[in-house]
A and B are shown apart, each in its own frame.
Chain A
Amino acid sequence: MERIKSFIEAAGWPRIIIALFLLSLFIIAPFVQVRLDASISDTLVRFGMNGVMVLAMVPMVQAGCGLNFGLPLGIIAGLLGAVTSIELNLTGLAGVLTAMAIAIPIAVLLGFAYGLLLNRVKGGEMMIATYVGFSSVAFMSIMWLLLPYKSPNMVWGYAGTGLRTTISVDQYWIRAISDVFAIQKGDYFYFPTGMFLFLGLLCFLMWIFMRTKTGTAMTTVGSNPDFARASGVNVDRMRTISVILSTVLGAIGIIVYQQSFGFIQLYMGPFYMAFPAVASILIGGASVNKASILNVIIGTILFQGILTMTPSVINSIVQTDMSEVVRIVVSNGMILYALTRVVSVKSR
């Protein structure tokens, strides 16, 4: 009994309730003709796709810069890497890795500037970050039209210039990471081993980083900047590093997402990308200035699990195709719920 109590206390009621709800969906699924193996497979794939972008929240939260609502900035760096890699006609793992290699330096530059900006608006980071994300998306909507990409797979057919809104990576590097050691059982169950290994690697690197001198300093800056300064830590530098890290992870994250999803979504694609990631880490139990790898993993599984299962189960129960509606209601509902957590933590 004591152990159950302490477990509930450690996990927190919201997570237990959401987990029980998710579990009940899995139990109901077979009864309403939703295949369990396909559902589990879907949940796992979505978890792998989104994991890196949720992980991108960790450094900034730890450094006290709040939740990275400016994730679209990192995503844009990732998109630039991805379209350039396709322009170069690269395929397979080489294509994905090139996309990342191009995206990372861009993300570092953008992240640095973004970090300088956030250092000037201490206390209001999240609001500013949201608008950095939005305005960068708007700016890039112009740029996607103007950038001199030529690959016929990517440009508008009738004009010959300007990138299309959705670009397929089918012939280039679809599932290039996911398929490494992937397991396919029957028609419905697919386990993207490579993507999980990659996510695991990034999580491990983050775990190590948080334990280095710099990572420790970063956590302390988030916990009490005055203390950190009195201990000889350059607070602004730590914050900038955290923003750069977050932006780079956002760039890598979107490339992982695309190779699994199969499409590159430009223009308004990155616009709302930050919200599911923010919601995931909050549902995972993070607060505005404390987040751990465990928060990332739990949060992503719960959020993506609910998002996968609710539409298909409800759809089968009501017997009409309204999965898209349900998906939007559920995902925005979860985001709304998660954002109320932000307020409660702040006011404590």
Chain B
Amino acid sequence: MAVQELLRMQGVGKSYFGNRVLANVNFTLGKGEILGLVGENGAGKSTLMNILFGMPVIAETGGFEGKILLDGKEVFFTNPFEALEAGVGMVHQEFSLIPGFSAAENIVLNRESTKYNLIVEAFGDRLRTLDRPKIDARAEKAIDTLNVVLDKKTIVSEMPVGHKQFVEIAREIDKETTRLLVLDEPTAVLTEGEAAILLQSMRRLADMGISIIFISHRLQEILDVCDKIIVLRDGEVVKELTPEKTDIFEIASAMVGRSIDKQFLREERVEILGEPLLKVENLWVDMPGETVRDVSFEVRKGEIFGIGGLAGQGKLGIGNGIMGLFAAGGTVAFDSRPVPLNDPMAVLSMGIAAVSEDRREVGLLLDEPISWNIIFTALQVQNRFLRTLPGGFIRIRDIKAIRECARQYIEALEIKCVSERQRVVELSGGNQQKVCLAKAFALEPRLLFVAEPTRGIDVGAKKVVLDTLREYNRKNGVTIVVISSELEEMRSICDRIAIIDEGRVAGILPASAPSAEFGLLMLGKVEKTKERVNV
């Protein structure tokens, strides 16, 4: 199929302060084609799109190398407005909608259809009256193009996230000049059904002659919808694929640069597990959105115990409740000693540590250096990393010991950073998660709660995190409780998995049980509520 070429990138490269993030990117995109752009976090996708879109950050840091040709003519956008004018539209991950405006108003924002009135004579065109019927018609047309059910009069702040995403795409469609549309992870916030609709709409847009660059972490979507797939790794195009001739495994392994098809394979272990280490009886936790009603279970010494279940059923409440972060009751015994509830310090000093599911809010000190993040809890709970000043009364932070400890974990967990003094906010999601793990490891706990260890991090980092947990369990004999919504990941590292449903344990199965059985336990609730709704 000989399609007319719309966009061509020739040898595009970029470095920030001597740090190369993009090198020699070449590709072409035809009219009405969908290009899938995949890569791990930090592979250079965003930088590439920033260059294409003329984001000021690129010019401020010394411009870029290579050429961008649009319709055969070289273009060089110095700001996003020029890009918009040339027909390049972008839908961002973050919503750039005005919450108090209706869908229609957002769609036509700053390009409203207007009517003449008398005031214009005196004050100029900026005071023309809005032509509401025309605006509505335009919005409706854009929404229809997407083929979604969406009321143009709904206020954006009252919409589900999926609809906001559609409004944003509709806005780009409404611009008649749009020839190239960049969608940056549009499906990340959508439900499966909504994502399917979006993919269909993308196909329709492509058929109308609009070219699309589609960035997504969901590889199946990429395979389903794209005409061409480009895999970026460490700033370089490592593979250019066509969906007919490839599969998820090839893309995924190209992304991380190593074969990962064995990633989720279980590693059976032979040794017999020890005595019960943690006994939980009739635990209730008042955590908003994750209420735990009545949970009892036992975790044995040396085990990796999984706690799964659908979101909102209370699995996250268990860890947070035992760690004393939310009001809780019931009996919890650790190594046959009672664990005081609602007292984080007491729990931590018993040798129990936790990695929070809420990395940014609870898990990290974003504005502090990596080293602080790693050692702080150990310093507070175990009085480590302190040295005594001459005189013997006052103990202050031992900078040297802190640095050594931080460096040791940075090396062991392969945390990518400039130095241990870099602020955590500057790290990528996967590396932040590694810092969270290092923080927990630095406490040298006997029992470790890890909540959602792989949430929001890329494929490569997921594997490293899971491997680290398994290794830590095997080598140091630390008992680990993994709380996660990713059943397959849990099955790959856990020994037994409990499924939580409506704040209660629905069942505990060995991880080797077929996934259908886990599914049934989780869905028990779904069916029940359905019945209830019907009644």
Binding site for B on A (CB under 8 A): 208, 211-213, 216-217, 220, 223-224, 226-227, 229-234, 290
Which of A211, A227, A234 has a CB less than 8 Å from the CB of B365? A227
Which residue among A208, A217, A229 has the maximum number of chain B CB atoms within 10 Å of its CB?
A229
Is there a chain A Cβ closer than 8 Å to B363's Cβ? yes
Question: For A223, what are the chain B residues with a Cβ–Cβ distance below 8 Å?
Answer: 365, 367-368
Question: For B358, what are the chain A residues with a Cβ–Cβ distance below 8 Å?
Answer: 226
Q: List 29 A-B contacts (CB under 8 A).
A: A208-B389, A208-B396, A211-B396, A211-B397, A212-B394, A213-B383, A216-B376, A220-B365, A220-B368, A220-B372, A220-B376, A224-B362, A224-B364, A224-B367, A226-B362, A227-B363, A227-B365, A227-B376, A230-B323, A230-B344, A230-B356, A230-B377, A231-B348, A232-B344, A232-B346, A232-B377, A233-B345, A233-B380, A290-B367
Inter-chain contact A229/B325, CB cutoff 8 Å? yes
Inter-chain contact B380/A217, CB cutoff 8 Å? yes
Question: For B364, what are the chain A residues with a Cβ–Cβ distance below 8 Å?
Answer: 224, 227
Instruction: Output the least CB separation between B447 and chain A (Å).
Output: 16
Inter-chain contact A231/B396, CB cutoff 8 Å? no
Inter-chain contact B395/A212, CB cutoff 8 Å? yes
Report B324-368 CB contacts with A as 1/0, cut-off 8 Å. 010000000000000000001111110000101010011111111
* B contact residues, range: 20 to 34
Instruction: Output the least CB separation between B356 and chain A (Å).
Output: 6
Instruction: Output the least CB separation between B403 and chain A (Å).
Output: 14
Question: For B376, what are the chain A residues with a Cβ–Cβ distance below 8 Å?
Answer: 216, 220, 227, 231
Instruction: Output the least CB separation between A1 and chain B (Å).
Output: 14
Q: How long is the Cα–Cα vector from A232 to B158 in the complex, in angstroms?
A: 39
Which residue among A212, A223, A231 has the maximum number of chain B CB atoms within 10 Å of its CB?
A231
Which of A213, A220, A232 has a CB less than 8 Å from the CB of B348? A232
Question: For B361, what are the chain A residues with a Cβ–Cβ distance below 8 Å?
Answer: 224, 226
Q: How long is the Cα–Cα vector from A232 to B352 in the complex, in angstroms?
A: 12
Which of A227, A229, A232 has a CB less than 8 Å from the CB of B381? A232
A226-B361, A230-B377, A232-B347 given; 14 more Cβ-contact pairs under 8 Å: A211-B396, A212-B394, A213-B380, A220-B376, A224-B367, A227-B362, A227-B363, A229-B325, A229-B344, A230-B356, A230-B363, A231-B376, A232-B380, A233-B345
Q: How long is the Cα–Cα vector from A229 to B386 in the complex, in angstroms?
A: 20
Inter-chain contact A224/B380, CB cutoff 8 Å? no
Inter-chain contact B366/A224, CB cutoff 8 Å? yes
Which of B356, B363, B379 has a CB less than 8 Å from the CB of A213? B379
Question: For A212, what are the chain B residues with a Cβ–Cβ distance below 8 Å?
Answer: 386, 394-397
Q: How long is the Cα–Cα vector from A230 to B344 in the complex, in angstroms?
A: 6
Q: How long is the Cα–Cα vector from A72 to B389 in the complex, in angstroms?
A: 34
Q: For B443, give the chain A residue with the smallest CB separation.
A: A231
Inter-chain contact B325/A213, CB cutoff 8 Å? no
5 tightest Cβ-Cβ pairs between the two chains A and B? A232-B345, A211-B396, A231-B377, A226-B362, A232-B344
Question: For B323, what are the chain A residues with a Cβ–Cβ distance below 8 Å?
Answer: 230
Inter-chain contact A231/B383, CB cutoff 8 Å? no
Q: How long is the Cα–Cα vector from A220 to B366 in the complex, in angstroms?
A: 11
Question: For A290, what are the chain B residues with a Cβ–Cβ distance below 8 Å?
Answer: 367
Instruction: Output the least CB separation between B334 and chain A (Å).
Output: 16
Which of B346, B354, B368 has a CB less than 8 Å from the CB of A230? B354
Inter-chain contact B365/A232, CB cutoff 8 Å? no
Question: For A232, what are the chain B residues with a Cβ–Cβ distance below 8 Å?
Answer: 344-349, 377, 380-381
Q: How long is the Cα–Cα vector from A220 to B358 in the complex, in angstroms?
A: 17
Inter-chain contact B344/A216, CB cutoff 8 Å? no
Which of B348, B354, B389, B397 has a CB less than 8 Å from the CB of A216? B397
Instruction: Output the least CB separation between B393 and chain A (Å).
Output: 10
Q: For B320, give the chain A residue with the smallest CB separation.
A: A230
Q: How long is the Cα–Cα vector from A220 to B394 in the complex, in angstroms?
A: 20
Question: For A211, what are the chain B residues with a Cβ–Cβ distance below 8 Å?
Answer: 396-397
Question: For A234, what are the chain B residues with a Cβ–Cβ distance below 8 Å?
Answer: 345
Question: For B356, what are the chain A residues with a Cβ–Cβ distance below 8 Å?
Answer: 230
Instruction: Output the least CB separation between A123 and chain B (Å).
Output: 15
Inter-chain contact A230/B345, CB cutoff 8 Å? no
Q: For A287, give the chain B residue with the smallest CB separation.
A: B367
Q: For B381, give the chain A residue with the smallest CB separation.
A: A232
Q: How long is the Cα–Cα vector from A230 to B354 in the complex, in angstroms?
A: 9
Inter-chain contact A231/B386, CB cutoff 8 Å? no
Instruction: Output the least CB separation between A225 and chain B (Å).
Output: 10
Q: How long is the Cα–Cα vector from A227 to B440 in the complex, in angstroms?
A: 13
Q: For A229, give the chain B residue with the smallest CB separation.
A: B344
Q: How long is the Cα–Cα vector from A145 to B395 in the complex, in angstroms?
A: 46
Q: How long is the Cα–Cα vector from A216 to B364 in the complex, in angstroms?
A: 15
Question: For A208, what are the chain B residues with a Cβ–Cβ distance below 8 Å?
Answer: 389, 394, 396
Q: How long is the Cα–Cα vector from A223 to B423 in the complex, in angstroms?
A: 12
Inter-chain contact A224/B365, CB cutoff 8 Å? yes
Question: For B379, what are the chain A residues with a Cβ–Cβ distance below 8 Å?
Answer: 213, 216
Q: How long is the Cα–Cα vector from A207 to B363 in the complex, in angstroms?
A: 27
Instruction: Output the least CB separation between A128 and chain B (Å).
Output: 24
Inter-chain contact B362/A230, CB cutoff 8 Å? yes
Q: How long is the Cα–Cα vector from A226 to B354 in the complex, in angstroms?
A: 14
Q: How long is the Cα–Cα vector from A230 to B321 in the complex, in angstroms?
A: 11
Question: For A220, what are the chain B residues with a Cβ–Cβ distance below 8 Å?
Answer: 365, 368, 372, 376
Question: For B365, what are the chain A residues with a Cβ–Cβ distance below 8 Å?
Answer: 220, 223-224, 227
Q: How long is the Cα–Cα vector from A234 to B324 in the complex, in angstroms?
A: 12
Question: For B366, what are the chain A residues with a Cβ–Cβ distance below 8 Å?
Answer: 224
Q: How long is the Cα–Cα vector from A48 to B305 in the complex, in angstroms?
A: 61
Question: For A229, what are the chain B residues with a Cβ–Cβ distance below 8 Å?
Answer: 325, 344
Q: How long is the Cα–Cα vector from A234 to B380 in the complex, in angstroms?
A: 11
**B residues 226-248 in Cβ contact with A at 8 Å:** none
Q: How long is the Cα–Cα vector from A226 to B363 in the complex, in angstroms?
A: 8
Question: For A230, what are the chain B residues with a Cβ–Cβ distance below 8 Å?
Answer: 323, 325, 344, 354, 356, 362-363, 377
Instruction: Output the least CB separation between A234 and chain B (Å).
Output: 8
Q: How long is the Cα–Cα vector from A233 to B349 in the complex, in angstroms?
A: 12
Q: For A224, give the chain B residue with the smallest CB separation.
A: B365
Given known A229-B325, A231-B377, contact A213–B386 (CB-CB < 8 A): yes
Inter-chain contact B394/A231, CB cutoff 8 Å? no
Instruction: Output the least CB separation between A151 and chain B (Å).
Output: 39
Instruction: Output the least CB separation between A214 and chain B (Å).
Output: 10
Q: For B323, give the chain A residue with the smallest CB separation.
A: A230
Q: For B398, give the chain A residue with the smallest CB separation.
A: A211
Q: How long is the Cα–Cα vector from A208 to B395 in the complex, in angstroms?
A: 9
Q: For B360, give the chain A residue with the smallest CB separation.
A: A224
Q: For A226, give the chain B residue with the smallest CB separation.
A: B362
Inter-chain contact A213/B344, CB cutoff 8 Å? no
Instruction: Output the least CB separation between A129 and chain B (Å).
Output: 23
Q: How long is the Cα–Cα vector from A227 to B432 in the complex, in angstroms?
A: 14
Q: For B348, give the chain A residue with the smallest CB separation.
A: A232
Which residue among A217, A220, A232 has the maximum number of chain B CB atoms within 10 Å of its CB?
A232
Instruction: Output the least CB separation between A144 and chain B (Å).
Output: 39
Q: How long is the Cα–Cα vector from A223 to B363 in the complex, in angstroms?
A: 12
Q: How long is the Cα–Cα vector from A233 to B377 in the complex, in angstroms?
A: 9
Question: For A217, what are the chain B residues with a Cβ–Cβ distance below 8 Å?
Answer: 380
Instruction: Output the least CB separation between A18 and chain B (Å).
Output: 25
Instruction: Output the least CB separation between A153 and chain B (Å).
Output: 41
Q: How long is the Cα–Cα vector from A230 to B356 in the complex, in angstroms?
A: 9
Question: For B346, what are the chain A residues with a Cβ–Cβ distance below 8 Å?
Answer: 232
Question: For A224, what are the chain B residues with a Cβ–Cβ distance below 8 Å?
Answer: 361-362, 364-367
Q: How long is the Cα–Cα vector from A226 to B357 in the complex, in angstroms?
A: 13
Q: How long is the Cα–Cα vector from A314 to B367 in the complex, in angstroms?
A: 43
Instruction: Output the least CB separation between A231 and chain B (Å).
Output: 4
Question: For B363, what are the chain A residues with a Cβ–Cβ distance below 8 Å?
Answer: 227, 230
